[in-house]
Each structure stands twice: as structure tokens, then as C-alpha cells.
Structure 1
């Protein structure tokens, strides 16, 4: 697998903002721009899409120049940006890559009430605006960058409590088969980028190793530990700290962020405006 000599990641949407200059905005959700020497990939489009547009403009990012849109999974805080007409116009005609289950009817019940939290477009509607590639298998998008496809479980926890999907006339628990990461092979090793990490960040890391045959250098993105018991978060942090760099974002939770931040040499503050180079 080719190693990337230059990899640049810019966080365009997240719950937190990492820089005050220029003034940027955040919201619940996630979006990041990945740039290699010859390819630009937008990983997720955020919740409302407005922070993606606003922050991109402030940071000098031309969204019309991206080559691919990769969806981490079908939840609205990562795909809701498609309902923003201005963002939709800028992204029109691009190639969208996702797992086939991304278009399932996604439901949440954390508060005792069923909520719809799925992608705001059907596949038919999406294909009117984009060239859509759906795959459950790993896919090398460009040299050195792999879409994970469906993440294999290795016995570590997945984070799917309260999540359901409606199929035909039944509602079943959603094991988030559509939860997909990006694996990027740098000179230092693999950089793993997740949206929410519903598959379990430790499962994702092991899958990355199996798919690529490379060691993982860094993990960045949502690890979905915000509602996990302290002992489980501590155990995950101990495994993550075996990596060289860790950037908890979005739904990771404050505990894992503080545990990693205690190791300043390893911690990446992956909020809005952060530019990370490998």
C-alpha cells in the first residue's frame, strides 16, 4: 500500500472549536477535509451544513474543488448537511462513497421517545445530485487512502445502545454495519479517521491493521464513549495510548478527552479549525 508523503486534515465541523482566529463555529456533528497531493475528500457533511460552509469560507477551503464525499454512517449529524441547499449546490456532481446500509431508516430512543435520525435523502434523491458508490467491502479511493467498508468486530464493544432501524414492517436493533472509517497510510503509519466510531474504536483499529497490513500511528474522530461507564472508558484509553497520536472528537466524551490530554505528546485537539498534517 502506497505511503502518502503529504496528508492534511482540516476539521470543518465538530461540537468544539479549537481556534479563535479566525472566529469559527461548531455544532453537534462532524465533518473533515482530507487532502493528499492530488485528491480532496470531504468526510461527512455535518449536521445542518451551515458550519461546514461558514468555516470552509473562513479557512479558505473551496468545497467545489473536492473530489469525493465519504459518509461515515447514516445518522443526521453526519449527513444532515445534504439538506442545506447552498452546501448541496457546492457539492453537486461529486462522487459519494458509503456503505449500502447508510440509507436505512435510522431511529433513536434514548429519551423514551422514538426519533428519526437518518440521512435526509433517499438513494434515488441522492443519485439525482451525485454519483453514488455503495460498498460493504474496503475500497482504495486513491493511492494510500482506503474506505474501510463494513468494520469487522474483534470482540471489543460496539456503541449501538438505543439505536434501531426500520425494515419493511419490523423494527430491529441497529448494529451500525454502515459505520465506516478512513484508513490513510502515511510515512509514520496509518491514520484512522472515524465519524462516530459506533463499531468500536478498538475494533476499527484492528480492522485497519487487517485490511492494510500496516501499523496504526494515529486515531482521530468520534469514539462514541460519551455515555460509557468510567471503567470502560479508562480501558479504551489505555489501548489508545499505545498509539502515537490520538484526537478524540465529536461524540467521544469529555472523560476520554481528558485522559488522553494528560499525555500532551500524544493528544490532538481535533475541534473545528484544527489543521493536522502528517
Structure 2
């Protein structure tokens, strides 16, 4: 796998916000803007798209210059921005990469009621607005940046409690096979970016090593889906993660406990407006 010499990842939407003036805004969900050498990637679009548009403008990011849009999975807090007409217009005609099941009808059991949490666009609308690439397999779509494809499970707990999908047979448990990450190879090692990490960040790390052939993990950034886990499980995951990655940036659905358990030397603040950079 080739290497990215210059990498900058900026959080455009997250439920953790910063105190930057003029004020940036956040919401439940996630979106990150990636500059990998000369290539610009928008990873997820947040829940409404409003923070993405507002924050990009204040941060001097021109979303019309995006080369690729990547969706981490089919939940609305990561794809809802597709329903924002202004944001969709800026991204129209771009190459969009996702798992083939990204358009499945997804639901959350919220207080005994099924709530729709899937994409705001149909598969046909995605094809109309984007150059669509759907794949279950890893894809190095630009130099040094790999779309993980369907993450292999290595026995670590997955996070899909209360999540369902609709099929011709009815409503069934959603295994979240469309949960994908980005693997970015740098001179310092792999940088792994996740949206929610439903397949478990430890499974994701093992898979990243297997498909990239790179064993050194420099940084793990994004949602680890530990917010609803019991304290001991969070501690176990962060302990294992700390032994494998030099830098850790819990965001979105990771929870405050996960953030507090990362050592000062390893912790990266990764809320709205924050950037992670590597220059060589």
C-alpha cells in the first residue's frame, strides 16, 4: 500500500463542539473532511448537513472541491446531510463510495417503537446524483487511502443492540455489515478513521493490519460506539486500544468515559473544528 505524505483530518460535525470564535456548531452525528496529499475526501455528512455547511464556511473549506464522498454506514446521523439540498448540490456529480447495503431500510427500537434511521435518499437517487461505487471489498481508491469494505470479525463484541433492518421477510436484526472505516497509510503508520465503529474498533484494527499489510497503528480516530457500554467493557477496549495505537481520538458515540481513560500522551481532542495533521 502506498503512503500519504501529508494528511489533515478536520471534524466538520460532531456532538462534541469546541469554543472557537466565531462559533462552530455541532449535532448528534459525524462528518470529517480529509486532505490526503492533493486529494479531498468528505467522510460522512452528519445528521442534517447544517453543521457541515456552516463549519466548512467558517473554516475556509470549499466543499465543491471535494473529490470523494465516503459513507461509513447507512444511519441517518452520518448520512442525513444527503437530504440537505444545499449540501447535495455542492456534492452532486462526485464519486461516492459505500457498502452495497448502504440503502437498506434501517430502524432503531426507541422505547418500544421502531424509528426509521436510514438514508434520506433511495438507491436510485444516489445513482442519479453521484458516481456510485458500492463494494464489500477493500478498495485503495486513491494513493494511500483504503476504503475498508466489510470489516472481518475476530471475536470482539459488535454493537448493534436495538438496531434492525427491513427485508422482504420482515424486520430482522441488523448486523451492520455496511459499517466501514478508512485506512490511511502514512510514514508514521496507519491512521484509522471510523464513523461509529459498530463492528468494534478492535476488529477494525485487526482487519486494517490484515488488508493493508501494515502492522504499525499510529492513530485511531472517530466513533467507537462505547457510549452505552458498561464501564468495565469500556476500560477493556481502551486498554487494548492503548497498547496498539500511539494516538487515540474518541469522538461522536465513544462517550466521555472512553475519552477520560485515554492517557494524556495518547489523547487527541477530536471535536468540531479540531484537526489531526501529519506532515513529512
TM-score w.r.t. structure 1 length? Answer: 0.98
Moved over 3 A (4+): none
Cα displacement string for residues 83-113 of structure 1 (whole angstroms, at most 9, x for unaligned residues): 1011011111100000001110101104211
C-alpha distance in structure 2 between counterparts of 1:114 and 1:37, whole Å: 43
Partner of 1:228: 229
Partner of 1:200: 200
Partner of 1:12: 12
What is the aligned length? Answer: 276
Note the C-alpha offset of 1:171: 1.1
C-alpha distance in structure 2 between counterparts of 1:37 and 1:202, whole Å: 28
**SS state at 1:4 partner:** coil
Q: Is the 8 A contact 1:45 1:78 kept in 2?
A: yes
Cα displacement string for residues 114-172 of structure 1 (whole angstroms, at most 9, x for unaligned residues): 10000111110111111110000000010100000000000001100000110013111
**SS state at 1:166 partner:** strand
RMSD: 0.8
**SS state at 2:125 partner:** helix
Partner of 1:151: 151
Partner of 1:94: 94
TM-score w.r.t. structure 2 length? Answer: 0.97
Note the C-alpha offset of 1:240: 1.3
Asked if residue 29 in structure 1 is aligned to residue 29 in structure 2, the reply is yes
Please identify which structure carries the higher strand content. Answer: 2
Partner of 1:240: 241
**SS state at 2:113 partner:** coil
Partner of 1:258: 260
C-alpha distance in structure 1 between counterparts of 2:140 and 2:88, whole Å: 25
C-alpha distance in structure 2 between counterparts of 1:201 and 1:110, whole Å: 25
**SS state at 2:51 partner:** helix
C-alpha distance in structure 2 between counterparts of 1:216 and 1:75, whole Å: 27
Note the residue ranges of structure 1 that are not aligned, 5 or more in a row: none
Map 1:51-62; keep pairs closer than 5 Å: 51-62=51-62
Q: Is the 8 A contact 1:72 1:78 kept in 2?
A: yes
Q: Is the 8 A contact 1:24 1:58 kept in 2?
A: yes
Note the C-alpha offset of 1:37: 1.6
C-alpha distance in structure 1 between counterparts of 2:272 and 2:21, whole Å: 11
Note the C-alpha offset of 1:13: 0.2
